[in-house]
Amino acid sequence: MTLTRFAFVKAQWHSDIVDRSLDGFLQQVPATQVDVFDVPGAFEMPLMARDLAATGKYGAVICAAFVVDGGIYRHDFVAQSVVDGLMRAGLDTGVPVLSVSLTPHQYQETSHHNAIYRAHFVTKGREAADAALGILKTREALAAQAA
């Protein structure tokens, strides 16, 4: 597989938890191949993902956010909008856009829950790296067959 750059977009809402996904991603992909971008929250990720994918610099764009019920709005609406936007960014640009966006129904801001989700985001970051590498490997194989 050729050396590929990856864009990793992180929402800063609950960054103490979300940033762990980058830790997991970097367990599978060298940091020298990853450009990191912070956005205020999950809702800003699809636009950033689309813009990064459109540059042609990245083999994949990975986006991470933690969308919880804040009592003011329905978090499921935000989460669905974000995932739909990320999918559209990938389909519109032809660049894989992967989501590490978690939306727990029973999150409480306690040390116990925070520890659970920090660990879970590390796992999800590793899984995103595996998925990105797998997609790129398959696409390279398809391109080689077509040549």
- Which domains are present in the chain? 6-146 (3.40.50.960)
| Tens of pLDDT, residues 4-39 | 899 999 998 888 888 999 999 999 999 999 999 999
| Catalytic, out of 5, 20, 74, 88 | 74
What single letter denotes the amino acid at residue 76? D
Q: Tell me 39's DSSP state.
A: E
pTM, to two decimals: 0.89
Tell me the C-alpha distance between 25 and 121, whole Å: 10
- ∠ CA 45-5-64, nearest 5°, is 25
- pLDDT at residue 2 is higher than 60: no
20 is a catalytic site residue: no
